[in-house]
Amino acid sequence: MKITRSGSIAAVALVGALALAGCSASTTSTTTSSAAPTSKVGLNAIDPSLTGTITAAGSSAQVAAQTGYSAAFSSVATGVTLNYNPEGSGGGRKDFIAGSLDFAGSDAPLSAAETTQAAATFPGGALDIPVYLDGVAIQYNEKDASTLNLSGSTLAKIFAGKITNWSDPAIATDNGGKALPSKKITVVTRSDSSGTMQNLTNYLAGAAGSDWPAGPNLGTLPQITGMDLQKGGAAVATEIAAVDGAIGGVDHSALTSGATVASVDGVKLTNAGIAEAMATGFAIKPNSTPGDLSGAFDYTKIKADTKAYPIPLLSYDIIPATFKDAAKKKLVLAYLEFIASTDGQKAGATKANSVQLPDSILKQVTATLATVK
Amino acid sequence: MTATPATAANGGGPQNTGAPTRLAAMKVSKVGDRVFLGLSTGAAWLIMVILAGVAIFLIIQAAPTIGANWLQNTALQDRTSGFTLGYANFWAYVSPLLFGTIWASFLALLLGAPVAIGIALFISHYAPRRAAGILGYLVDLLAAVPSVVFGLWGIVVIRPFLGPLNDFLNTNFGWIPLFGGSVAQGGSTLLAGAIVLAVMILPIITSISREIFLQTPSLHEEAALALGATRWEMIRLAVLPYARSGIISSVLLGLGRALGETMAIAMIVSPKLIFSFQLLTNDNPTTIAANIANQFGGANLTQANALIATGLLLFVVSFAVNFVARWVVGRASTGPRRRRIPTRKASR
């Protein structure tokens, strides 16, 4: 009894020490940045007197990061609560356009039709704000291949059902000519539509050309015979781990420990590789709404960069360009300004094991947020 | 007069309870009576209003997509949530779903109904009274398990459990189309879904059949036994013929439950919009309810209307099934049932 108690006290002390260490570390970093003649940023910039509830929903990829952002945010502004419902990107955009959310999390920017619909709900339309960067992992279950490399066109042929066996020469070519034993490939994917698949099909369309006839921006992969469909990203990851010969695209943050992940175009999935892809291949291509920050990846440029992981996943928070409620505006903007700070990005990336957005993007986000009325 | 409400409030109106006819009770009207009459009438009307409200909601929401040409509608050809992509109209989209709904429910009935009726017979005619009570209670308890829990059970237990059976059936009986095709390695088969669905409809079929078996006139049963019938012969001669329409109606009510079941199918079965009778593959037809659960989250506003239209069709089908079931029950319960009630209490 005594031993247990002293053990738990030690544990509490340890946690306390770590927390303190964490605090001091972030304090020093913010002090250095506030030493510059700019205004206060990050945790220091949060107004502790803010109170209220932010209602948001959408991308399930963002959910861990949103937990990280909001925990850090409400450590300063203790009266603020974030309710983030990970109902899926499409559902988030739908509910946002219907006017029931303060912001939507989405793995894809608003489509042209949605931009028009949003402009009907919010005067001045809605803005896509990039907040979260991660990658789509190609998880596989093939015991004979401890490491696996797949090119874009091989991947496209597998997902389109044109390559159905692990012994296929195209897979051997991608792996230095070493052929795998014959085994059926089972493609596992999501039965519900997802931003993960949108980012994956964007890559396939951009990198594989005619080998991926289905085109970009698809929320669900076209159904092929034998394809194994599961509800939700976590179920897909579990299914791939359970089925011998399975392969599928999984959101990086949904990967379970021990999952085997393939390299794509010779590049391993690492946070550094994703950051490189963002730096090389991403360009803001705003829609008609002034200040919008939606963008796209140039997969040809990414392919040319041998350090860039070819399937990045960029997720947006979508906010009204004009708020109807001044208090709500103050709250949501303070929260997003925090997300767009280095402190905020660090809090989210640590929690979700994702990648911090580059400063160039964060600067543009801050500039756009300043224009919100 | 002033004392009257107090009497009513004191849990009273003994004169009322003792009133010999309904007419008399109507005449001696007190505040409590009138309030209760109002509340119960209101409740009765409310259910009608809710039902009508649901129907009207479904029709209004569904209307824009049922008659429309889907290929010309940009929202329905939305690639980001592409589940309606490439379908020419509502009927092309919903027909595989309708097929899947009926096929999955049929399989569940095929697997579940005989077991449920067996349990009911055991409880009513074989089990010692005490065991019967406990068993009946346990079966009823099954109805209280949330369907998400059934779904998880299906994923974690039933899928791997069926793996060897799937392989066996496919290898040895693959020439039967039902067991043909290439076996789903992960076990997301319609067979797994139908088995879980069968378990889910057990309670409703068991409890209704049990009540009806218990209502068999004991004179019939005793007569059969007196003529030298064994217990099985007695059941065959006296119980089953008497309960036939009751069994049918309980099965139809079970079908009603199976038609609308959502989460278990959505979680267990790998769904495609196809017509297929194969039970052991990843290419399974899915049900309307499971499809709505899968796709509603990602749907845009028009796609949501399309999903609601499929829901309207399910509403119509379930309504028809329940209507037929009620009609059969109604036919069964005229006559003998009234005389049965005391017998049933005695046999308990």
Which of these ranges, A323-337, B5-19, B251-265, has the smallest mean pLDDT? Answer: B5-19
Compute the distance between CA of residue B240 and CA of residue B247 in angstroms, rounded to an integer.
9
- A188/B186 Cβ within 8 A: yes
CA A127 to mean position of chain CA atoms: 18
The shortest C-alpha distance from B284 to chain A (Å) reads 10
A186, A193, A218: residue with CB nearest B295:
A193
The shortest C-alpha distance from A99 to chain B (Å) reads 13
Average pLDDT over residues B77-103: 88
Give which of B61, B80, B265 to mutate to test A binding, by max A Cβ within 10 Å: B80
B79, B267, B298: residue with CB nearest A217:
B79
Contacts of B158 in chain A (CB under 8 A): none
Residues A64-67: contacts with CB under 8 Å, at least 24 apart: A64/A253, A64/A348, A64/A351, A64/A352, A64/A353, A64/A354, A65/A131, A65/A132, A65/A348, A65/A349, A65/A351, A65/A352, A65/A354, A66/A105, A66/A348, A67/A351
Res. B332 pLDDT band, cuts 50 70 90: low
List the structure tokens of B103: 């096929």
Which pLDDT value is given to residue A48?
Answer: 85
Report the mean per-residue pLDDT for chain B.
Answer: 84
- B298/A194 Cβ within 8 A: yes
Compute the distance between CA of residue A93 and CA of residue A101 in angstroms, rounded to an integer.
9
- A244/B185 Cβ within 8 A: yes
Residues in CB range of A57: below 8 A, 6 or more apart:
A84, A85, A86, A87, A91, A92, A95, A96, A101, A104, A105
Contacts of B155 in chain A (CB under 8 A): 235
Q: With a cut of 90, say whether residue B16 has pLDDT above it.
A: no
Instruction: Find out whether A71 and A351 touch, Cβ atoms under 8 Å.
Output: yes
- A227/B267 Cβ within 8 A: no
- B304/A192 Cβ within 8 A: no
Task: Check residue A310 and report its DSSP letter.
Answer: S
Compute the distance between CA of residue B229 and CA of residue B216 in angstroms, rounded to an integer.
16
List the structure tokens of A292: 């919008």
Query: What's the complex ipTM?
Result: 0.76
Compute the distance between CA of residue B153 and CA of residue A101 in angstroms, rounded to an integer.
34
- A193/B82 Cβ within 8 A: yes
pTM of this structure: 0.79
CATH topology for the B94-333 domain: MetI-like fold (1.10.3720)
List the structure tokens of A367: 């500039």
- B299/A227 Cβ within 8 A: no
Residue of A nearest to B263 (CA): A231
Instruction: Report DSSP letters for A210-227, one per residue.
Output: GG-TT-S--SSPPP-TT-
Average pLDDT over residues B54-63: 91
Contacts of A93 in chain B (CB under 8 A): 300
Q: How many other C-beta atoms are found inside a 10 Å radius of the C-beta of residue A64? A: 21
Compute the distance between CA of residue A91 and CA of residue A105 in angstroms, rounded to an integer.
10
Instruction: Find out whether B283 and B274 touch, Cβ atoms under 8 Å.
Output: yes
Which pLDDT value is given to residue A5?
Answer: 43
Contacts of A113 in chain B (CB under 8 A): 74-75, 78, 300
Which residues of chain B have a Cβ shorter than 8 Å from any chain A Cβ?
Answer: 74-75, 78-83, 155, 182, 184-186, 188, 266-267, 270-273, 281-283, 293-301, 304
Counted across chains A and B, CB pairs separated by less than 8 A come out at 109
From first to last of its 373 residues, what are the pLDDT tens digits of chain A? 344 444 444 444 444 444 444 443 433 333 334 334 445 677 878 888 888 899 999 888 898 899 999 999 999 888 899 999 888 888 888 889 988 899 999 988 888 888 888 898 888 889 999 999 999 999 999 988 889 999 999 999 999 999 999 999 999 999 988 889 999 999 999 988 888 898 999 999 988 888 998 888 888 888 888 899 998 888 899 999 999 999 999 988 888 888 899 999 999 999 999 999 998 889 888 888 888 998 889 888 888 888 899 999 999 999 999 888 888 888 999 999 999 999 899 999 888 889 999 998 998 998 889 888 8
Domain ranges of chain B: 94-333
Name the 3-class secondary structure at A315: strand
A113, A186, A245: residue with CB nearest B75:
A113
A91, A94, A228: residue with CB nearest B188:
A228
Looking at residue A205, its amino acid is: A
Which pLDDT value is given to residue B275?
Answer: 92
Q: Set out the domains of chain A in order of their start, with CATH numbers.
A: 12-133+315-369 (3.40.190.10), 136-273 (3.40.190.10)
With 0-12 / 13-18 / 19 or more C-beta atoms within 10 angstroms meaning exposed / middle / buried, residue B52 is exposed
Segment B147-158, tens digit of pLDDT: 899 999 999 999
Q: With a cut of 70, say whether residue B348 has pLDDT above it.
A: no
Residue of B nearest to A202 (CA): B80
List the structure tokens of B161: 């459990």
